[in-house]
Amino acid sequence: MSVRFNLRLRAQPALRVELAGLTPLAAAAGDAAELSRTMVWHGNERLALGELFDVAASAAEVPTLVFEGDLARFDGVGRGMDGGSIRVEGDAGDYVGAQMRAGDIVVAGNAGLLAACEMAGGRLEVDGSVGDYAAGALPGSMDGMCGGTLVVRGNAGARCGDRMRRGTALIHGDAGDFLAARMVAGTIALAGRCGAHCGYGMRRGTLVFAGAAPEVPASFVPTAHDIRVFWALLARSLAYHGGPFADLTVRMPRRFVGDLAADGKGEWLVAVDAPSS
């Protein structure tokens, strides 16, 4: 038996708060009083967590953190997380699930910039929308998401999956410009519409369009390879997440390869008879 900490937000902070390093496994090593004394950055000052949240503890199956309140000004929720569970009962700030290696994070609202950036394992589910650079690389880094699963029930901002190397990202809504730009490997499944320059500089990886068919650029060309076995496995894994991906197992896609302008071998799988939006 482990411990669950409920952190109820007292009031909105005046400045942004950095929660990186506050993980379920780290918190489980102490009690509620010790967690309340944990220091976090509020702007350029350090505050005890207990000045921002009321902290209560109870028994749980796995180490768990539950944040109650609007955390739109709180960055780094679950950053570097290596196990356990986090739930945010509202919005979250930037860097949610960044560099996480294991565990589960659920955000009941929206998330900010760079959600799941450089994620290596685990699962991040956002019931709302995410900002720019989700599943991408940290500023100055060459590698984006390299493992795990990102599920976005709403929309994704620009450059989702930029430099993505591994893992799976599912977007139930629309995506902004430069979706899967410079993608190296991994899988992105999109149910809505994509913005401009989709797949720009794409090297490898798979981009699945489960909804309205996109405008295919000239640097992507159709192929006639037999992908029935591969598609059966991929479609089944995506259909597991339900929603607009549930019927992929009974639809065969058209396949395009590119970005040929970057000597790329990435693939677009456009499901046939896609529903109109």
In terms of residue numbers, what domain contains 184? 113-271
User: Is position 108 within any domain?
Assistant: no
CA 172, 107, 186, 20 torsion-angle sign: positive
Strand ordering across the sheet containing 74-75: 45-48, 39-42, 17-18, 74-75
Tokens standing for residue 10:
């007292």
User: Is position 99 within any domain?
Assistant: no
User: Is position 34 within any domain?
Assistant: no
User: Is position 176 within any domain?
Assistant: yes
CA distances to 42, 68, 110, 203 from 12, rounded to whole Å, are: 11, 12, 17, 43
Tokens standing for residue 28:
């489980």
**Residue (of 162, 130, 127, 159) closest to 146 by Cα position:** 162
As a whole number, the mean pLDDT across the chain is 94
Rg for the chain, CA atoms, rounded: 20
Alpha-carbon distance of 88 to 85, in angstroms, equals 10
User: Is position 124 within any domain?
Assistant: yes
Alpha-carbon distance of 172 to 150, in angstroms, equals 11
User: Is position 77 within any domain?
Assistant: no
Instruction: Count how many domains the chain has.
Output: 1
User: Is position 152 within any domain?
Assistant: yes
For the chain, how long is the longest CA-to-CA vector? 63
Pairing type for strands 39-42 and 266-271 reads: unpaired
User: Is position 186 within any domain?
Assistant: yes
pLDDT in tens, 205-246: 999 999 988 889 999 999 988 999 999 999 999 999 989 999
Alpha-carbon distance of 76 to 92, in angstroms, equals 9
Q: What is the pLDDT along the chain (277 residues), one digit of tens a residue?
A: 799 999 999 999 999 999 999 999 999 988 999 999 999 999 999 999 999 999 999 999 999 999 999 999 999 999 999 999 999 999 999 999 999 999 999 999 999 999 999 999 999 999 999 999 999 999 889 999 999 999 999 999 999 999 999 999 999 999 999 999 999 999 999 999 999 999 999 999 999 999 988 889 999 999 988 999 999 999 999 999 989 999 999 999 999 999 999 898 999 999 876 444 4
Q: Is the pTM of this model over 0.75?
A: yes
Please report the pLDDT score of residue 17 as a whole number.
97
Do 168 and 232 touch, CB atoms closer than 8 A? no
